Structure 1
Amino acid sequence: MSAPMKLVVLGLSLSSAWGNGHATTYRALLRAFAARGHAVTFLERDVPWYASARDLADPPWCRLEFYRDLGDLARWQGEIAAADAVLVGSYVPEGVAVGQFVQRTARGATAFYDIDTPVTLAKLDRGDHEYVSPAVIPGYDVYLSFTGGPVLDLLRLRWGAPAAEVLYCSADAAQYRPVPGVAPRWDLSYLGTYSPDRQPVLERLLIEPARRAPGLRFVVAGAQYPAGIDWPANVERLEHVGPADHPAFYAASRFTLNVTRADMVRAGWSPSVRLFEAGACGTPVISDVWDGIETLFRPEEEILLATTPEQVLAVLRDAGPDRGRRIGRAARARVLAAHTAAHRAAELERHLRAAMAHHRHPAGASRSARAEERVSL
């Protein structure tokens, strides 16, 4: 077995799954990474909207600590310097400054984990450097992207990442699994935080089918939906479903819907964590369509694809329980074979060890100078 690794992660949130998909992604990945014998410290910015909705205060597989601001982050300088690898995530508050601090301080390998890659690239194209910038990207030893496909070449060739590797989301197989004995409550469910660019697809693939089929039952679970949305009477609204309740939520759904953000549809190869989690629970998924989805799940066998309300209604009205169960079982088998947190933890270890092997330049000013030199080329 490989030598244990000391990893420090600075991510959006580990403590709260409210209104973000990062927490469940980090929890599954880092729990499995720790199970491989590694020590993990997670540093989270202490912000009020997550502090008031924490559902994981003291994970047994990870040291979770909070910092107030950039000045307070300096308390962890020794921990960052001593780590074998340091990983900074997308959407970290003041992420550019955090990345610069990490690149100056770390003596081990550094990585950027982008759980929002197409959104990040659209931001970079607009000159929006909310959490990463063209000057910071080359200073990371490896750019880990939740999007695969052609985007990886773009990260290397246009944005100067020394290495770019795909690290898809995953499902924690110990948590996400079928729940026996739960009667179907909804014909079609959707679990996701409100996003303006997802809403037109949700309107087309769930709300419009609900209007046309008042005898069917639907649910939309997630935070931050505006008050002005005209929900049909047969669409139930749940403000939040915590991760511990996700399996039961999926078990109560005959089918569940996957809706992808517009930037991610354009990039392709961007599976939502919900795809893997629902699949692991054995719930059949109806998904919108984008390049690369067929490389993850076989259409008509492990997943159903739809672009119109008519296609959704055809599935809900015509698919008998046997077909739904068959697709759900096949999706679960695919997730267990290739998309569990254990698979991703092994991939993360491989990518970090490769970065450590190629990490030769020292920390400090020379490291920052190297990054600036790459950008200027």
Structure 2
Amino acid sequence: MKIAFYGSSLLSSYWNGAATYYRGLLKALSRHGYDIVFYEPDAFDRQNHRDIDIPDWCDVVVYEATPDALMQVASRAAEADIVVKASGVGFEDEALLRAVLDHSRSDALTVFWDVDAPATLSELRNHPDHPLHEELKRIALVLTYGGGDPVVWDYRALGAAECVPIYNALDPETHFPVARDPRFACDLAFLGNRLPDREARVEAFFLKPASALEDQKFLLGGSGWGDKPMPANVSWLGHVGTRDHNAFNVTPKAVLNISRDSMASNGFSPATRVFEAAGAGACIITDAWAGIELFLTPGEEILVARDGADVVEIMRTLTPGRAKRIGKAALRRVLAEHTYTLRAELVDAIFKAHFERRTVEAAE
């Protein structure tokens, strides 16, 4: 089957947290025999920050961020058996969704893949005239980056025919234990771009604990933090490409996961970096959110902090030996239960079930 997938970027993780998710899932789906074309706009300077070449498991079409180019790639939805429009493409999202639905064949499976469901649902609740309200009636399936039952219930209440969370996971071919790298030597590291609905939590869970732990070294990776006031024991690296993620995760004594406000409030939304870090064997400290125990066991495979004071206490008492044991336990768990191979098996089953239902309905 042919899949036309319209997303932010497969080739660049620059200001694009969904890149690892797309790569892991689509590579695994290709092994089920899907012929995939990924369409991404030339936007946000991502093409100048590519961190992978065009892969052999997926074709990639980069189009200019213009209305004419958008319509040209949208017309190619007619070539596909499965048409996927992801959220957060970054250029004329509403027009793109409408155009790909208009060009999809009547026998195609149409999918809205929401990689930021809490934010999308908040926008829909606050804007009753949002175009997606109407477009949901034309979409056969909603898949989400996470969110659990609360997201499923909300989407169904808004009229979605079907909604299934497809959680982040690990690609063990790209994220795995490596040798420690002196560039990333520190006690606690955090990797994340500066975003409005995360910044206050970064201050509470990372910068304030750094101020309280003057004898420890903190490392901050990610774009946008250049003018942010920081304690003297915090070093800012700027953008860290995916090829350095393994070393960034495995070298510090511990790495920190900080959810965005919407993800933390909704719960059941483990960030990509949780599985990337676990795949490298890192000791992870995460802010608290509902559903953590579905993915990693608190206290054994991951450490949970309710606030900055908890981060301080954890870092004061965490020994290198315990950190190493937690990292090894997390690695075992994600390899057993949370790989993109397993996630792709779920997606493949969902796709096949949809077409089987159509076949049965057509025969009746």
TM over 0.5: yes
Single out whichever of 250-259 and 100-109 deviates more from structure 2.
Answer: 100-109
Query: Of 7, 24, 44, which residue of structure 2 is paired with 1:28?
Result: 24
Question: The residue matched to 1:313 in structure 2 has which SS?
Answer: helix
CA separation of 1:82 and 1:359: change in aligned 2, threshold 3 A? farther
Alignment of 1:127-146 (within 5 A): 127=127, 133-146=132-145
Q: 1:48 offset after TM fit, Å? A: 5.0
**1:367 corresponds to which residue?**
none
Answer yes or no: is the 8 Å Cα contact 2:249–2:280 preserved in 1.
yes
CA separation of 1:48 and 1:213: change in aligned 2, threshold 3 A? closer
CA separation of 1:242 and 1:181: change in aligned 2, threshold 3 A? closer
Question: Segments of 4+ in structure 1 off by > 4 A?
Answer: 181-184
**1:321 corresponds to which residue?**
320
**2:218 corresponds to which residue?**
218
CA separation of 1:128 and 1:322: change in aligned 2, threshold 3 A? farther
**2:98 corresponds to which residue?**
100
Separation in structure 1 between the aligned mates of residue 319 and residue 285 of structure 2, nearest angstrom: 15
Q: Which has the higher contact order (CA 8 A, sep 6+)?
A: 1
Normalised to the residue count of structure 2, the TM-score between the two structures is: 0.92
Answer yes or no: is the 8 Å Cα contact 1:80–1:106 preserved in 2.
yes
C-alpha distance after superposition, 1:112-143 (max 9, x if no partner): 1111000111111221888x611112211110
CA separation of 1:212 and 1:335: change in aligned 2, threshold 3 A? same
**1:375 corresponds to which residue?**
none
**1:91 corresponds to which residue?**
88
Answer yes or no: is the 8 Å Cα contact 2:32–2:348 preserved in 1.
no
**2:194 corresponds to which residue?**
194
Separation in structure 2 between the aligned mates of residue 204 and residue 128 of structure 1, nearest angstrom: 34
**1:115 corresponds to which residue?**
115
Separation in structure 1 between the aligned mates of residue 149 and residue 313 of structure 2, nearest angstrom: 31
Separation in structure 2 between the aligned mates of residue 242 and residue 110 of structure 1, nearest angstrom: 32
Answer yes or no: is the 8 Å Cα contact 1:123–1:129 preserved in 2.
no
- Report whether the alignment pairs 1:339 with 2:338: yes
**2:362 corresponds to which residue?**
none
CA separation of 1:100 and 1:82: change in aligned 2, threshold 3 A? same
Separation in structure 2 between the aligned mates of residue 256 and residue 250 of structure 1, nearest angstrom: 6
CA separation of 1:170 and 1:197: change in aligned 2, threshold 3 A? same
Q: 1:79 offset after TM fit, Å? A: 3.8
Question: The residue matched to 2:45 in structure 1 has which SS?
Answer: helix
Normalised to the residue count of structure 1, the TM-score between the two structures is: 0.89
Alignment of 1:227-242 (within 5 A): 227=227, 229-242=228-241
Answer yes or no: is the 8 Å Cα contact 2:201–2:260 preserved in 1.
no
Question: The residue matched to 1:45 in structure 2 has which SS?
Answer: strand
Separation in structure 2 between the aligned mates of residue 201 and residue 255 of structure 1, nearest angstrom: 18
CA separation of 1:128 and 1:53: change in aligned 2, threshold 3 A? farther
Separation in structure 2 between the aligned mates of residue 359 and residue 124 of structure 1, nearest angstrom: 30
Alignment of 1:302-317 (within 5 A): 302-317=301-316
C-alpha distance after superposition, 1:29-87 (max 9, x if no partner): 11111123221100111225212222234222110002223422443466421312111
**1:154 corresponds to which residue?**
154
Structure 1 gaps of 5+ residues are: 361-377
C-alpha distance after superposition, 1:298-317 (max 9, x if no partner): 11011111123332122222
| Letter matched to residue 80 of structure 2 | A
Question: The residue matched to 2:187 in structure 1 has which SS?
Answer: strand
CA separation of 1:273 and 1:296: change in aligned 2, threshold 3 A? same
Question: The residue matched to 1:169 in structure 2 has which SS?
Answer: coil
Say how many residue pairs are matched: 353
Separation in structure 2 between the aligned mates of residue 20 and residue 208 of structure 1, nearest angstrom: 27
| Letter matched to residue 86 of structure 2 | G
Separation in structure 1 between the aligned mates of residue 49 and residue 269 of structure 2, nearest angstrom: 28
Separation in structure 2 between the aligned mates of residue 302 and residue 276 of structure 1, nearest angstrom: 12
